[in-house]
Amino acid sequence: MGHSSEQVVLITGGARGIGAELAKELVGRGHKVAITDLDETALHETAAVIGSDAVLPLVADVCDLSAMQAAADQVVERFGRIDTVVANAGIASYGSVMGVDPATFKRVMDINVLGVFHTARATIPALVDSGGYFLVVSSLAAFTAAPGLAAYNASKAGAEHFANALRLELAHQGVDVGSAHMSWIDTPLVQDVKKDLPSFREMLSRLPFPLNRTTSVDACVKAFAKGIEKRQRHVYCPGWVRGIGLNRNLVNSATGNKPVLKFVPEILPRMDAEVAALGRSTSARNVANDQSPAAAVEPNES
């Protein structure tokens, strides 16, 4: 769809970062947007900044299927339909497989994989009705791994392959499915990791070019908006991420691993020590969200 075709877009994880900025961009292009998040305060602040009745903020936990179904129903009630869904909600954990808190590892998988399933399950009926588009926010991490981020790596690979399966299931019903793959973006998620872990900052600086570069949220949002309006099969930001995806077998080969293996013995133990000193395996923001009333609801996976 082009700029002249008004869409109704549902974005999960819409309180800040890519989700919030994408909502602003899409409303500016004449679309109507619903944003969901656990952080009620930040969610309503984002809606207030947008300052339009074209945005609908909804507190919902992607780990709770019933909450996502209720959110989808509210979007249809308010705007009449859903044309596009952006499954954007996601978190990361800190530390090696032996250093990360197991409960936090599980939480990453719950939000980043199960949350995508719940979002799809809740919105597919509306997308079938509209002949819509479902965009799964995966990552460059689906193509190449980083030490100390195993949960995030695994979850984003899972999200990509979920999109591949969903695409096959929905094509005959007129629904297109895409997956988005970004390198390091200057979002609150990446900012939090950099702030909490000096070892992460050093690891990022020692990755081979261009894997050591961070891209602006604005560039990412522009790529997402284009992908939504063109219903793209894949969205890449920056564009070179596509090349990594096409050559993932080489990147993950023994030869491709050599640059990273040079610093893992030094940096990974430091990362685990920093995580232990923090007393948490994720950002303080994520810990606070996990304690919110919306997150306290027992997930309904029926």
Which one of 94, 133, 152, 236 is the catalytic residue?
152
Phi-psi bin for 100: left (phi > 0), alpha (psi -120 to 50), beta? beta
133 is catalytic: no
Which value, in Å, is the radius of gyration of the alpha carbons in the chain? 19
SS3 content of the chain, % helix, strand, coil (to 5): 55, 15, 30
Reference 148, options 7, 281, 57; nearest CA is: 281
Reading the block at residue 195, the tokens are: 């702030």
Q: What is the distance between the alpha carbons of residues 135 and 119, in angstroms, rounded to a whole number?
A: 11
Q: What is the distance between the alpha carbons of residues 82 and 73, in angstroms, rounded to a whole number?
A: 10
DSSP reduced 3-state for 241: helix
Q: Are 175 and 127 in contact (CB under 8 A)?
A: yes
DSSP reduced 3-state for 155: helix
Burial class (CB in 10 A: 0-12, 13-18, 19+), 240: middle
Q: What is the distance between the alpha carbons of residues 169 and 163, in angstroms, rounded to a whole number?
A: 10
Q: What is the distance between the alpha carbons of residues 100 and 280, in angstroms, rounded to a whole number?
A: 8
Reading the block at residue 29, the tokens are: 């292009």
Active site residues: 152
